[in-house]
Amino acid sequence: MFPKKRFSILAVSISIFLCTTACAGKKSETQTEFLLGTTCSVTLTSKHAKQDFDRVFTLVQEIEQTMSVHVEESDVSKINAMAGKTPVSVEPETFYLIERAVEIAEETEGALDITVGPFVEEWGIGTEHPKVPAIETIENLLSFVDYRSIVLDKQEQSVYLPRQRMKIDLGALAKGYAAHEAVKVLQEEGVARGIIDFGGNIMVFGTKESKEPWRIGIQQPEASRGHYFGIVEVDEGAVVSSGTYERFFVQDGVRYHHILDPAAGRPVRNGLDSVTILAESGTDADAYSTAVFVLGLEKGYRFIESKPELEAVLVTVDKEVYITSGLEDRFLQNNPNYIITQFE
């Protein structure tokens, strides 16, 4: 999931400390570090900002050490190494995340499937050596990808993959989980308001001094970072996008991105370019954004409409924008080339 272990070592050395918008005397400050294979930034207003940043980034490092497939001693690496051999007792947070991932896999009929690990490894998207695997390789691995065979023992807090070569990968929901945990510790520290952005997994908390809602831009898939086709207004919670632009490589003129269809063992190609989910929980927003991308436009849209606690913005490669009904009044168009569209 997180492309390279060395990034975690680099993390501390590339932290940037900046002061941004001044608001009514108290400044908000941003700190950015490279963790979880992505840029993680935290913006907050606090009297003890340094201490708060330290606490958040220490926490994110701990999550990376526990959840990353690129850390040899992580819970996830141990589960994978013991596949077909023995169950592994894990930290409560690892157990929670895997349990939640299995629930969401059940709800989405395997669109989210954390046992997609063997394919993530074969494709290597986001690593230095991505490649299109041979068809036989993909076919041989298909039988090792099935969330239904994960054995969870609540009593023992253990996880067991019953066949060798099975591998789990929490890349689809770990960043959202980390963002949510970051918000929790900042609130514990008494931080009044802040913005977390862990590689497009955004969470906001607290009320802005202006009392206006937070306005969060949604990345334009084909444009460089910071170009938004739309803006959503939120009071609190998570806004998480999964898109073709996040991690990809090009071979023979074809673009291969990192969201894989677990039933096919290859990047999803269904006409969607990105899916953004709004939810109270960062973990859920992250997991559902990947799942809905895999489900595709119509099925994904209907799925979100059936869940009152979730809203979504789906964008197709033809720049059609579909917004779920609870979000219509809170979505602002920011680029006229992106057309708000409704189903017939």
Q: Considering only residues 228-257, where is the footprint of ligand AMP by CB under 6 A?
A: 242, 246-247
The token duo for 67 is: 């959840």
Which partner from the list Mg ion, ligand AMP, none does 260 bind, CB cut-off 5 to 8 Å by kind?
A: ligand AMP
Of these partners, Mg ion, ligand AMP, none, which one is at the site of residue 262 (CB under 5 to 8 Å by kind)? ligand AMP
Q: Please identify which residue in 49, 172, 216, 304 interacts with Mg ion, judged by CB under 5 A.
A: 172
Q: Is 112 in the site for Mg ion (CB under 5 A)?
A: no
Q: How far apart are CA 10 and CA 61, in angstroms?
A: 12
- CA dist., res. 160 & res. 88, Å (int): 6
Q: Which does 246 bind (CB under 5 to 8 A by kind): ligand AMP, Mg ion, none?
A: ligand AMP
CA distance 24 to 42: 20
Question: In this complex, which beta carbon is closest to ligand AMP, that of residue 49 or of residue 67?
Answer: 67
238 binds, among Mg ion, ligand AMP, none (CB under 5 to 8 A by kind): none
Determine, following the binding rule CB under 6 A, whether residue 323 of this chain makes contact with ligand AMP.
no
- Residue number with CB closer to Mg ion (109 or 189): 109
If one counts every other C-beta atom within 10 angstroms of the C-beta of residue 247, the result is 19
Decide if residue 169 touches ligand AMP (CB under 6 A).
yes
Q: Which of 116, 232, 312, 313 binds ligand AMP (CB under 6 A)?
A: 116
In three-state secondary structure terms, 292 is helix
Query: Residue 6 CB: number of other CB atoms within 10 A?
Result: 10
Q: Where are the beta strands (DSSP E) in 6-94?
A: 16-23, 26-35, 38-45, 88-89
> What does each C-alpha distance from 199 to 114, 246, 247, 325 come to in angstroms?
19, 9, 11, 27
Task: Name which of 110 and 206 has its Cβ closer to ligand AMP.
Answer: 110
Give the pairing type, strands 260-261 and 254-257: unpaired
Counting residues that bind ligand AMP (by CB under 6 A) gives 20
Please report, for residues 66, 187, 281, the alpha-carbon distance to residue 207 in angstroms, rounded to integers and kept in the order given: 32, 12, 18
CB of 275 to Mg ion, least distance (A): 9
Residues that bind ligand AMP (CB under 6 A): 1, 112-114, 116, 120, 169, 171-172, 242, 246-247, 258-260, 262, 286, 289-290, 294
Residues that bind Mg ion (CB under 5 A): 172, 242, 286, 289-290
